[in-house]
Structure 1
Amino acid sequence: MKLSFFTFLRGQFSPQPPVVKADLAGKTVVVLGANTGLGFEASKHFASMNPGRLILACRSEAKGQAAIEKLQAATGYTKAELWLIDLADFESVKKFADKFERDGGRLDILVENAALSTRKYEATKDGWEASMQVSNLSTPLLAFLLLPAMIKTAEEHATVPRLVVVASEVHYWTTLEKKILENPDMLKTMASAEYCTEKMMSSRYLLTKLLNIFFVRAFNDRLPSSTPLVIDAINPGLCKTELMREADGIASLFVALLLNIVAFSAEQGSRQLVYGAVANAENPEAFRGQYISACQVTEVSDFVLSPEGVKAQDRLWDELIEILGKVDSRVPAIASQYLSA
């Protein structure tokens, strides 16, 4: 499938359906990036469904606590919890997972709402380009480390947990160039300072969202069909959030114009996250490994489906396991136990 700019604009002006509701009594929901934008609005929707536990995973304690107070004032829900996590720091992700193993109990819904939109190369203390570490390394790392809790929940409570990864329609507008496809170290190369020129960083956000799609599809391909767990990728559309706050110069003017004229509100966009997490409860299998946009399963880009894309997806998966295995030895063990080769 291809996505023209006209089709994108038409989608942005389409009426948005109301948020899907479900009974979350007794269930545990974790939302990453929950202190602002899509994550906060999705958390408000989940709170209205009275979950047993609602964990707001945030980087800043001050901003996270403010979000807890705003959520309670808006919904009356008093059981929201603030847990700290910094996706630009592998140790922080591991500590979050360790805490969940000790204190989290069941895990029914994990919404991985993580992204960094930047046009400037910046390395984390772990040595990775920041936006790739946040979106394409730490996001999968947390998914792997919390996978046993989700499967245990399914077995003990006869339910089907959901792992929701927030992707984007912008994945239609990028591919992997030939020198990456032919490179034995694809992720390492794309995250290197040498590769991250000003030109390459101008489309970095698109790349991270393409890699989100590859991750969801590769994960699902390796998840046995008998495993009661659904992973899906969600497109919230273009929304008025803080994601593009780093835009400057002429780019900032274009972004401001686009946001003011065609963007959804953060609340409208968050309905897609909730849809991926609770919709179609009578047949959750229909969402397995799918890309969901405008509240419907939608075909991914032609590049993702092409022979080159399929090959790249498998190679990216193998490299991801290798990289994350060095970050945390539990990753290959979990992949081996719960996922097929």
Structure 2
Amino acid sequence: MLKQFFITCSGSDTDILEQCSKGEQNKYAGIGATVFFTAVMAFIAASYALYTVFDNVFTAIVFGFIWGLLIFNLDRYIVSTIKKTGNFTDELIQASPRIILAIIIAIVISKPLELKIFEKEINQVLLEQKNALTLANKNQISEQFTPSIEALQNEIAGLQNDIDTKEAEVNALYDTYIAEAEGTAGTKLLGKGPVYKEKRDKHDALLTELQQLKIENKAKITAIETQIALLKGDYETQVASSQPIINNFDGLMARVNALGELPWLPSFFIFLLFLAIETSPIIAKLLAPKSAYDYKLEDQETAVKTNVLQNKNQREALLKADHAINDRIYNDIESEDELYTYKRKKTRELMQLQADAFFKHQKNAF
């Protein structure tokens, strides 16, 4: 039962194989088994690749199964259409397009399995890429907010500088009127005279201005700090909202690119393995001598071809003979007076009917 199934997978003619030896049947069963298990590997590879895309097991299995059937049909077609002619050069030319197609299929099958085999290494590469993307994302977002924040901070520094300047002036006036009271500067008269009172009044007026300036600038600074806090909050919000996109940077294309960052030799050997599996039935057919199955298949096909050519030649000969007979018949009756008289009579009647019909039509027009 299993042997018959594998023979069917090989695409060979089961009726002809039944007339061949057991060894011949086993050879085609082995070719069919290779075709079948290649399709199974294609199903597994496609299911994994599609799972990384859709993140749904059922969808991945369904589409993976369809892909496996497609690969199975292609492999079966490739193997079954290679005919043994006895001339290796002709067979190689015949198999060349099929070998190219087999190479393409091997690449398509091997790549998803490479992603699974080197999954841990790929995850490490993706982690490094995600970290780099996170830093770059933060820098890009900060470029949107940094100029505004720095401008507001410079505005706060300007307001604070106004306070410090005013405060320095108040302190200088304080030192002036104290020195006047102590007699160490100004009039150098000890005591609180008119000059002292003038300087004290000037200091008190500037102190009042300083206190008012502090109140006003503090309110402005508080408002600006609120704006800075809002901008920083917006920055954090944008970073947090864009981070899931970076965290999900592990799709099929990202993994294929990450695989390209790894050493190429292990991936190349895996590809060679699948290439050997995919091309083994073709190579086996090319290297194997012409067997009983090939002779029987050739005999069956040439018999059909011969029958078709015979029927075609017979139809062409029949048509040629029919043309010749018709030419002779028309040549013989061309000179008969009886046929001429009869046709002349019918032609006259036809022309009379046409004339009557024309006259009737013209009469009705008036």
Does the pair score TM above 0.5?
A: no
Rg comparison, structure with higher value: 2
Q: By percentage of residues, which structure has more strand?
A: 1
Q: By percentage of residues, which structure has more helix?
A: 2
TM-score (norm 1): 0.18
TM-score (norm 2): 0.17
